[in-house]
Structure 1
């Protein structure tokens, strides 16, 4: 049997930390609901100008307790998912790490819009490009995300030849979350201008 540490016993004896966590996750849910409302307003000028299958009315908030052993919460909006094709704007709160928003294009959407989206954000100091072979990793370690402006055109081409997805992402520290909502929404608007179908 593993021995308990003093730190573990002290934490287990004090309900405060879990009560604060519970309250924090409620507020993150509210933050994502508010963001969903703001996104919905921003989408109005795009009506009829984006791929028709994109859901522009309702987003989905989901949460879990164990992404690499830490709690998370995410909003997918706007988004469209099938087994082979995906176009989603995902905002994620990851406990102890970051608040982020990510364009995830897969299958036909990566082919149709990926290079234009990369071109749009190529010179940004804040946008990251996913270099992983899996689209389901979210941390910002060097084997998953690199700054888009620091990756070569040849490396991008190689990645696109070996995978069927593109992920571009922006992140901020958790402590900046309250004042970064507009930055996240603005990232979405700038990207959707590229994805407009007419």
Structure 2
């Protein structure tokens, strides 16, 4: 039997931390709903050049308790998911780690728009590129994300050939989340502008 540490027993004796966590996750949900509403307002103005199958009327907010043993909340909007094709803009809160936004392109969206996204964002030193073979990891360890500008075009091309997807991401400190709403929106609009050029 494992022995309890003093720290573990102290925490288990105090309900405060879990009550704060519960309240925080409720506020994060509300925050993602606010972002969703703001996104929808802006996207109505530019909807004519966004592929019709991408749903601009609805977004999906989800949450869980165990991404690498920590709670998280996610907004997928705008997004389109099918077995072969994916375009998604995922905004994520990950407890104790980061607040992030990520473009995910796969299948037809990668074929049509991948080069545009790569050319546009590659020189941005605040942007990350996923080098993982699996598309559903979101941590920023070196096995998953690296700074985009450090990769060669050959490395990017090899990744695409091997995996069939790209993910381009930005992360922000959790403590800056309240004032980063505009950055998350700007990143989205910057990417959606690229649809105009194809």
Equivalent position SS for 2:176: helix
Q: Give CA deviations for 1:20-67 in whole Å, capped at 9, x if unaligned.
A: 000100110011000001101110222221110001111000000000
In the alignment, the residues of structure 2 paired with residue 154 and residue 83 of structure 1 have an alpha-carbon distance, to the nearest angstrom, of 27
TM-score, normalised via structure 1 length: 0.97
In the alignment, the residues of structure 2 paired with residue 6 and residue 183 of structure 1 have an alpha-carbon distance, to the nearest angstrom, of 42
Partner of 2:104: 104
In the alignment, the residues of structure 2 paired with residue 195 and residue 4 of structure 1 have an alpha-carbon distance, to the nearest angstrom, of 56
Q: Does 1:89 align with 2:92?
A: no
In the alignment, the residues of structure 1 paired with residue 108 and residue 58 of structure 2 have an alpha-carbon distance, to the nearest angstrom, of 23
RMSD of the alignment, in Å? Answer: 1.0
**Residues 59 and 78, structure 1, Cα contact 8 Å, conserved in 2:** yes
Equivalent position SS for 1:77: strand
Q: Which structure 1 residue ranges, 5 or more long, are not aligned?
A: none
Q: Does 1:42 align with 2:42?
A: yes
Q: Give CA deviations for 1:161-195 in whole Å, capped at 9, x if unaligned.
A: 11110100000010010000110110000000112
In the alignment, the residues of structure 2 paired with residue 29 and residue 113 of structure 1 have an alpha-carbon distance, to the nearest angstrom, of 31
Q: Which structure 2 residue ranges, 5 or more long, are not aligned?
A: none
Partner of 2:181: 181
Partner of 1:32: 32
In the alignment, the residues of structure 1 paired with residue 47 and residue 166 of structure 2 have an alpha-carbon distance, to the nearest angstrom, of 24
Give the aligned length. 198
Report the alpha carbon displacement of residue 197 of structure 1 after superposing the two structures with TM: 7.0
Partner of 1:73: 73
In the alignment, the residues of structure 2 paired with residue 8 and residue 97 of structure 1 have an alpha-carbon distance, to the nearest angstrom, of 21
Equivalent position SS for 2:48: coil
In the alignment, the residues of structure 1 paired with residue 95 and residue 154 of structure 2 have an alpha-carbon distance, to the nearest angstrom, of 35
Asked which structure has the greater RCO (Cα within 8 Å, sep 6+), the reply is 1
5 Å-filtered alignment, 1:112-191, equals 112-191=112-191
TM-score, normalised via structure 2 length: 0.97
In the alignment, the residues of structure 2 paired with residue 11 and residue 194 of structure 1 have an alpha-carbon distance, to the nearest angstrom, of 49
Partner of 1:10: 10
